[in-house]
Structure 1
Amino acid sequence: MRIIQTYQNVAPADRGASVAIGNFDGVHLGHRSVIRLAEQADATAPTGVLTFEPHPREFFAPDSPPFRLMSRDARRHRLEKIGVDILYELAFDAEMVALTPEEFARDVISDGLGLAHVVVGADFRFGKERSGGAEELQAFGEQFGFGVTIAPLLEENDTTISSTAIRTALSEARPGDAAAMLGHWHRIEGKVIDGEKRGRELGYPTANMSIDGLHPPAFGVYAVLVDVLDGQHKGSYHGAASLGVRPMFGENRANLETFIFDFKGDLYGSTLSVGLVEFLRPEIKFEGLESLIAQMDADCEKARKVLESL
């Protein structure tokens, strides 16, 4: 997948694509249906995605609580995995915000990127003060020479599939419901960082990952699928993970600690993708280490059974 981060001086090989436009946070089934429509709209053109970094919500409300389902790198990996040829990842900055709907259609889509066709959701808004809508984009497409398809909103069990609905499911400890809307397990991706190494002392060495900037799922213990994306231990594994602030040890910054079953090796600096499969129990403050270890034994036994049944 080629990644283009400007709409100016775009190479001829990166023009003429059929593109889905949106934020694509989570790359859920609704997003994938829009991407499929872009692929079908022009089978001879490269399939692309046009998105923005940072997320517009981060730009307008930088101090709001973290809400993203995935980081920029995780989104890139997921889009590449589903077969996107070109990712137009444009800067969402003061210059972009100031463009009127007409300027965005002309300067970015038509003259800048030279897109052949674009697909947007029915609720798509664009341009200064979000003043442009999907039907207005169709009119600009006729004016500036690119095709426009408006994709209907996708529903699952009478619920509109959206990043908001997925966040709610994760907050309510329903990773299975989130996965049904995503089309894949919700994954937390990032580098393994140094921890306090308490798990090693307890017989449960863990790979620690930050969740800074991400929407926090319900705190507690999960059965997880683990992909090590690089390094000598690259591969797929089963495990159990604790997501939270570790109240027994007086911590207050949430992270993800993953114990990989039957694994020996050093993962510091490696990139992991941890899929939340089933919520096993909420976060608990234990009275002592013996009760903590006994619970960890039980958690891992339950997680093994859950994952063996997949």
Structure 2
Amino acid sequence: MSSPASSRFLFADSLDAFPQDLKGGVVAIGNFDGVHRGHRAVLDAALGMGHGTHHPVFAMSFEPHPRTVFNPSAPVFRLTPPALKVEMLRVCGLDGALILPFTKEFASIEAKAFVQDILIDTLGIRHAVTGYDFHFGKARQGTPDFLRMAGANHGFGVTIVHREEDEGAEAVSSTRIRDCLARGDMPQANGLLGYRWFFEAEVRHGDKRGRDLGYPTANLSLSEDCPLLEGIYAVKVKTGGGWHDGVASYGRRPTFDNGAKLFEVHLFDFSGDLYDETLRVHLISYLRGEQKFDSAEDLIAQMDRDGQEARAALGSLRPLSEIDLKLLDFAS
């Protein structure tokens, strides 16, 4: 695709900051949490519309999740927090992204005003692409049919993408992926995503117990609302020095203190200081649940077995998709 923005990815977090180089383009609209296979069907349709033209293709999304805004006591865990969602949109080949703050005031905008004030006056879109279940505006008045009619009346094209289904004819959804993480079902979670789920976190100081056991770890914290099942995982980790294979434990360390949840990563064949560095961790497979051991010797013996199993899982790793190929940098 050739477009004015093709040489760089443009990002804005407000309508006032919307880049002029994206104006008059093709917009893919949605929440895009996880940027999973269903979302990428919408993004691919938008890219297809812009292919071979000089019109930029960009995504418009919203933060935080609407359900979190209307029910803050039960926040929705984000598979991809805003920064990672923006990176995923870039990796997918878009020219830019507009992430708008979602508030109750924003939700009260009439659907007609959303079309006129935002899509037409500010973004100047030529074409809009959304999923079959996308609604917008006050009381969710902006249905897919409403958007089609608005496009016909105002002179912009509209494409509504049908739901993406997995091999079992079930809809691909962020909710299903969260449920998979809660069960430790990494094959299905990663299959629905089309890439290995990952997170980023800064390394924090710990009690150095792993080092005493012969398994030094980088200690990371996940968000409190993360549903990930506690246990042992095979992981691929990106540090400032490159990619590393490893094994990780997520949980409360029942053999020792049964304390606050930590994600502890041991990198194979690595020596160095990672404190205060931000790591990117891709979860490849779930190995076993967290256990309490009678002695440190029993724990070390199990950790040896975990390391062997993780190495075997990582040794047979193959890309799930072109996106997975780019994210994990298999060629490195």
- Contact 2:70–2:104 at 8 Å: present in 1 too? no
Given the alignment of the two structures, is residue 58 of structure 1 paired with residue 68 of structure 2, yes or no?
yes
Whole-angstrom CA distance in 1 between matches of 2:25 and 2:209: 51
Q: Indicate how the Cα distance of structure 1 residues 105 and 255 shifts in structure 2: closer, same or farther if over 3 A, else same.
A: farther
TM value normalised by structure 1: 0.93
Q: How many residue pairs get matched?
A: 306
| Unaligned residue ranges in structure 2 (runs of 5+) | 1-8, 318-332
Larger proportion of strand? 1
How far off its partner does 1:213 sit? 5.1
Whole-angstrom CA distance in 1 between matches of 2:133 and 2:157: 18
Of the three residues 178, 181, 184, the one matched with 2:192 is 181
TM value normalised by structure 2: 0.87
- Residue in 2 that maps onto 1:35: 43
Whole-angstrom CA distance in 1 between matches of 2:197 and 2:19: 35
Of the three residues 309, 312, 320, the one matched with 1:302 is 309
CA offsets, 1:93-143, max 9 Å, x none? 233112011111111111122222111111111111223211111112223
Of the three residues 246, 249, 254, the one matched with 1:247 is 254
- Residue in 1 that maps onto 2:215: 204
Given the alignment of the two structures, is residue 144 of structure 1 paired with residue 151 of structure 2, yes or no?
no
Q: Is the partner of 1:126 in helix, strand or coil? A: coil
- Contact 2:22–2:57 at 8 Å: present in 1 too? no
How far off its partner does 1:248 sit? 2.8
- Residue in 1 that maps onto 2:22: 14
Amino acid in structure 1 at the alignment position of 2:248: A
- Residue in 1 that maps onto 2:144: 134
Amino acid in structure 2 at the alignment position of 1:202: L
Q: Which deviates more, 239-248 or 62-71?
A: 62-71
Whole-angstrom CA distance in 2 between matches of 1:144 and 1:288: 72
- Contact 1:190–1:271 at 8 Å: present in 2 too? yes
- Contact 1:71–1:214 at 8 Å: present in 2 too? no
Q: Is the partner of 2:255 in helix, strand or coil? A: helix
Whole-angstrom CA distance in 1 between matches of 2:227 and 2:208: 23
Q: Cα RMSD between the aligned structures?
A: 1.7
Matches within 5 A, 1:1-310: 1-8=9-16, 10-43=18-51, 44=53, 45-64=55-74, 66-157=76-167, 158-212=169-223, 215-228=226-239, 231=240, 233=241, 235-310=242-317
| Unaligned residue ranges in structure 1 (runs of 5+) | none
How far off its partner does 1:12 sit? 2.4
Sequence identity (%)? 42
- Contact 1:185–1:275 at 8 Å: present in 2 too? yes
